Copies of this chain bind each other. A is one copy, B any other.
């Protein structure tokens, strides 16, 4: 029986991971960590009986202690970053599902990589912030990183059996988000509700906003560089509204290999846990005749500037991707909080990038310093005066 631990069990990926665990039957959850959704977390603890759980802070820990007091098999409870690290490095876990949102998953995931775990990676900030560090650590420990993002997971599948030197480029598909057909002006005035209404995927709020700005695709381009060792000029993005083709690779002989499926995150999660074996899935099968048509178009950097910023950050290198990522976390939160308009997300990210001179991202300290610096600059760029300008609903 396989043993896994989960960072971020109450989020969208975390909940789907637990569904996959129930479906597979031969996987045990030995440790899990969650943030502030303690009620759901208690339910999960009751159902999956992990040996170790970690939560956000002392207050949550006290709540959890009381909630699990009645259980026959009480888990050990930890909190904060050390708690996340304990979950990520639990000795029995062969695979760590890294599914926290944002920079909080960064250090625990690095520790899991250093411990040589299989990483089922859903936290994209890990590679965006510190791809160089992470991939060096993985090379050193032998940790295998299998991406859970449907796009990277698709590319991982397409690359099976292919020789690295024979791949010309990676082609990431993007749904185009809810504003794909909107004018620039209409996008600028988009509300929180409109931005959260993703056409194909049910995901967390942060990533859904990132899908609407195409920042999500930009972060995936950066991630792809580190996961697969391809430079930006060998990574393309194509808009594909149906989200049925999850991504593709183009070979030097002109052949394009694509991975398709229903838009259900459980597929990629299961693949990352069972790889290199494939097992029967719980989710539905693709019926292409029922889908009828698949559309493709080139992305419009003019209307979706965040995608262009990601390519710029990758070209600038060093700490620049970490700075873009941190600025974006702040600007997206500001949009969700109604402090800035939708178009100010990209503008804020751009302003912070313009102010940054990248330095090498080869130490943890450099990456974290860049992250902190960018958050501060983004908060300054947003400012109190911007509150309530637009984006509220």
Interface residues of A, Cβ cutoff 8 Å to B:
157-163, 166, 171, 238-239, 245, 248, 250-262, 267, 270-271, 274, 277-281, 283-286, 288-289, 291-298
Contact = CB atoms under 8 A, between A and B. Distances in A.
Main secondary structure of the interface of A (DSSP, over half): mixed
A284 B250 CA distance: 12
Contacts of A274: 253
18 contacts: A160-B160, A161-B162, A238-B288, A252-B278, A253-B274, A253-B279, A254-B281, A254-B285, A255-B260, A255-B261, A255-B267, A255-B278, A256-B260, A256-B286, A256-B288, A288-B296, A293-B295, A294-B296
Nearest to A248: B260
For the complex of A and B, the 10 pairs showing the least CB-CB separation, nearest first, are A161-B161, A160-B161, A256-B260, A254-B281, A288-B296, A166-B278, A253-B278, A253-B281, A289-B298, A294-B294
Contacts of A160: 160-162
B157 A257 contact: yes
Copies of this chain in the oligomer: 2
Given A257-B158, A278-B255, A292 B295 contact: yes
A260 B261 contact: no
Contacts of A289: 238-239, 296-298
A235 to B, nearest CB: 15
B280 A253 contact: yes
